[in-house]
Structure 1
Amino acid sequence: MAATTAGTTTGSTGSAGWTLRMPSTVVGLRQTTLPSDAMAKINSTLQQDAAPLGVTGGTPLVAVYDDPQYDVYVIVAGYNGSGFDPAKLTTLVNVAPKFTEDGAGDRITTNSMPVDPGPHGGAAGCASEVLQNGDLATESTLCSWMTATTMGSVSYYPKPDHQQMVFGTGPDVIGKLTRDVRQAVEQQG
């Protein structure tokens, strides 16, 4: 059994480490495609999110899965590589909440927290951003994990014709989804 401390687990990784692959189905969701402009935005965000973690090389992977229950896409993105430092992720998620205003009446609250990375080890954490304007608020959460050979993330992405409100998208929900997705996309060796 692995030991967990502040979002970091020491698990068995063997000498070959872990690698990511994007199967056609994860957690019961089928892979789909998005228009090229949406994929370009997702790839750009992946690079921006990876830079503070020191992930500047490696092989990027992005897959989009259709979640008809919540009428959203689940974006799974990450890198295969070597020499990644999971302690950098732990440092980024162990920070106090941040409150900002954008000058247009929006208040933005950013909260990061470590989460259980599951049996594959490494480090994991989630960052939630709540945008509030008057009585209306929206929440967006991205959860990530990192080992010495992989860096991955899971988030919701709204469909263009989104017809329903999605509730319960905080770190407790997306963190569990991330562990479940990670079991399907991260393989030893």
Structure 2
Amino acid sequence: MARLAPLRVRKPVAGAVVVLLAGALVSACGGSTTPQAEPGTAGVAAAGDTAAGAATGTAYVLSAPAVAGGYPQGQPSAQLVQQVDGDLKQTAQRLGVSGTPVHAYYDDRADGAWIFYNGVTGAGFDPDHLHDLLDQPPATKDDGAGDLLSTSAVDADPGPHGGRAVCNTVLVQNAMLSTAATTCSWFTTTTAAGITVVIKGDGTNTKVGFTAADVAPIMRAIRADVEQSKSR
């Protein structure tokens, strides 16, 4: 199965090499170790599209407010946006969802990272099917450039609006360091969206990568502000 190639931009930071990985609604094929569910989510996402608002038939719409989850909008470099948007288009085609697109770039100034938010408001989505397209077995490969790429997928708590959520992580290991990039996606019958956190690599980052445990809470915080019920 084809997997989106991770974006790799290497810059020296404190004498090391920082690897930036980007993707929106990333299509992953698993990881090098048996993936564990996000802490505290056992049995939550597995309930399918029957939780919270989904159980009452609530229809949601997506927006892009100036501030979401406490993060203000910002503007990443044109090169980074172009590369991430390219991955988004490929994955959107794979998921087969269509509707009204929405996206924004939020600035995580505390961690020195960009939060890429991309989504679609539509109708008739199957949250279980979309979740399963991204929930794939672990896999590891050598990219031929000295990096060992491991991909993994774990269920995540989608938050109070219900639906399904999954986090996909790409772990890159080489002789100098290990770093991870994660996209957490959620799905309802009317919305499909994903959050990807990418370090800026300008010396302001506090981490060299983000795991599912890092990104899932950010996803839920962003979702709470960008997704509203149609009745509002």
Unaligned runs of 5+ in 1: none
Q: Which residue of 2 aligns with 1:32?
A: 74
Compare 76-85 and 43-52 and name the one that shifted more: 43-52
Of 156, 159, 181, the residue aligned with 2:222 is 181
Compare 84-93 and 162-171 and name the one that shifted more: 162-171
- Alignment TM-score, normalising by the size of structure 2: 0.72
Counterpart amino acid of residue 117 in structure 1: P
Q: Is the 8 A contact 1:9 1:117 kept in 2?
A: no
Of 159, 169, 173, the residue aligned with 2:200 is 159
Structure 1 position 95, deviation (Å): 2.6
Counterpart amino acid of residue 102 in structure 2: L
Structure 1 position 47, deviation (Å): 1.8
CA distance in 2, matches of 1:95, 1:154: 18
CA distance in 1, matches of 2:157, 2:48: 7
Q: Which residue of 1 aligns with 2:150?
A: 109
Question: CA 1:162 to 1:78, structure 2 compared with 1: closer, same or farther past 3 Å?
Answer: farther
Identity of aligned residues (%): 33
Q: Is the 8 A contact 1:78 1:151 kept in 2?
A: yes
Q: Which residue of 2 aligns with 1:48?
A: 90
Q: Which residue of 1 aligns with 2:122?
A: 81
Counterpart amino acid of residue 167 in structure 2: C
Q: Is the 8 A contact 1:99 1:107 kept in 2?
A: yes
CA RMSD across the alignment:
2.1
Q: Is the 8 A contact 1:6 1:115 kept in 2?
A: no
Counterpart amino acid of residue 48 in structure 2: T
Compare 95-104 and 36-45 and name the one that shifted more: 36-45
Q: Is the 8 A contact 2:199 2:207 kept in 1?
A: no
Q: Is the 8 A contact 2:155 2:166 kept in 1?
A: yes
- Alignment TM-score, normalising by the size of structure 1: 0.87
Counterpart amino acid of residue 23 in structure 1: P
Asked if 1:120 is matched to 2:182, the reply is no
CA distance in 2, matches of 1:7, 1:137: 34
CA distance in 2, matches of 1:36, 1:134: 30
CA distance in 1, matches of 2:80, 2:136: 30
The alignment covers a number of residue pairs equal to 186
Structure 1 position 119, deviation (Å): 1.5
Structure 1 position 168, deviation (Å): 6.8
Asked if 1:6 is matched to 2:46, the reply is yes
Structure 1 position 26, deviation (Å): 1.2
CA distance in 2, matches of 1:113, 1:27: 22
Q: Is the 8 A contact 2:138 2:152 kept in 1?
A: yes
Secondary structure of the structure 2 residue equivalent to 1:32: coil
Q: Kindly report which structure 2 residues correspond to 1:58-69, keeping only aligned pairs within 5 A, or say none.
A: 58-69=99-110
More strand by share: 1
Unaligned runs of 5+ in 2: 1-42
Counterpart amino acid of residue 214 in structure 2: V
CA distance in 2, matches of 1:153, 1:65: 13
Deviations 1:120-167 (Å, cap 9, x if unpaired)? 121100000001112411110000011111111111123252433415
Structure 1 position 16, deviation (Å): 5.7
